[in-house]
Amino acid sequence: MQRAAQEHWRPSCDLKAIQLRAEMLAVIRAFFYQRSVLEVETPLLCHATGTDPQLDFFSTAYHHVPGIKKSKNFFLQTSPEFAMKRLLAAGSGCIFQICKAFRNGESGRFHNPEFSILEWYRVGFTLPQLMDEVAELIVEILPGSCKVNDIQKISYVELFEQITGLNPLVFCQQSYSLYASNNSISDAITLCGKDHSMWLDFIFSYKIQPVLNDQSLYMVYGYPVIQSSLARINKDNSAIADRFEVFINGIEIGNGFFELADASEQEQRFDQENKSRAQRQLLQVDKDKLFLDALRSGLPNCSGIAIGLDRLLMIVANADTLNEVITFPFDRA
């Protein structure tokens, strides 16, 4: 036991994983430089954070705010999204960033409270154009040993109905509960209650995502509006939003939007999310006024995505857990 404790100072991953990370980052930067996408850096400690009730955050008190006697709370960002969109509104053009992000309460095989993220925005891109670019980048990153055999684009509604027989756009608690009872996920009945969004997350995570486990690169698009805080509503179907997620071997690695640019609608969504936070007895979050001001000034039409780099590296390294590709995970940080 004493030797094990002494060895705890060592990184949890081996040198090969460290080298693979460096190579992956070099490929990513070359990919975007070739396309004239500007690399940027934004603050990770900010005055505000997102209101999404699905995400918990870290906050800290800053004690020396000029002109204010009491301390002020600042937040470690769950994503650099708001600050990057402020740059877009200021005329930056297409941008990308590789940085750390932070989510409280998330630790496990696919989660670490501090993680590496790649986020980029393409001005003038439709969502299908961004999906194509995501596929190009991932194919370039993956080594020959784990190349994807196929790229499959499928709608969320079609996939959900195909696997579960349920309509994800119309909530029927009785039907959802019966499905849960008959498919070994009866815990969902108590945990999700009357919350449609929680039901969708639970069923997708336990019954749909595991099916996406072959050597294909899956892009699932057209998520229900209730699960798309920052995406535009689809112009042809107001029940879905222009959002997609990326899966490899059953692992979710990316989340992309055709970005919402309407400040009033965005503020209404923030208010609705805070109502949901109150119902779940979660902390209320002040709306990011700087971000809303940027939207009011004019966000260009753009699509953007965040990719979890640690999860992507797991696939590149053929690893089973994040601990195999992170030098010092949460328990050793």
Question: Is residue 245 in a domain?
Answer: yes
Q: Please give the residue that has the higher pLDDT: either 54 or 165.
A: 165
Domains identified in the chain, total number: 1
Question: Is residue 69 in a domain?
Answer: no
Residue 231 maps to which CATH number? Answer: 3.30.930.10
Is the pLDDT at 178 greater than 60? The verdict is yes
How far apart CA 24 and CA 19 sit, in angstroms, is 9
pLDDT (mean) for 267-283: 91
Range of the domain at 274: 11-43+78-149+214-332
Question: Is residue 156 in a domain?
Answer: no
Task: Report helix, strand or coil for 256.
Answer: strand
* Structure confidence at residue 329 (pLDDT): 92
Cα radius of gyration (the chain): 20
* Structure confidence at residue 1 (pLDDT): 47
Sheet holding 58-62, edge to edge: 45-46, 72-76, 58-62
Cα torsion at 210, 212, 216, 218 (round to 10°)? -130
Percent share of the chain, pLDDT over 70:
96
How far apart CA 244 and CA 40 sit, in angstroms, is 24
pLDDT tens across 111-134, in order?
999 999 999 999 999 999 999 999
pTM of the model: 0.93
pLDDT (mean) for 206-214: 93
pLDDT tens across 179-198, in order?
999 999 999 999 999 999 99
Is the pLDDT at 2 greater than 60? The verdict is no
Question: Is residue 171 in a domain?
Answer: no
Question: Is residue 198 in a domain?
Answer: no
Question: Is residue 206 in a domain?
Answer: no
Is the pLDDT at 67 greater than 80? The verdict is no
Q: Which ranges of 67-126 would DSSP assign to H, the alpha helix?
A: 81-89
pLDDT (mean) for 280-305: 95
| pLDDT band with cut points at 50, 70 and 90 for residue 145 | low
Question: Is residue 298 in a domain?
Answer: yes
Question: Is residue 261 in a domain?
Answer: yes
| pLDDT band with cut points at 50, 70 and 90 for residue 228 | confident
| pLDDT band with cut points at 50, 70 and 90 for residue 64 | confident
pLDDT tens across 294-327, in order?
999 999 999 999 999 999 999 999 999 999 999 9
CA distances from 98 to 28, 81, 105, 283 (A): 9, 12, 22, 29
* Structure confidence at residue 105 (pLDDT): 86
* Structure confidence at residue 6 (pLDDT): 60
Of 242, 250, 241, give the one whose Cα is nearest residue 217.
Answer: 250
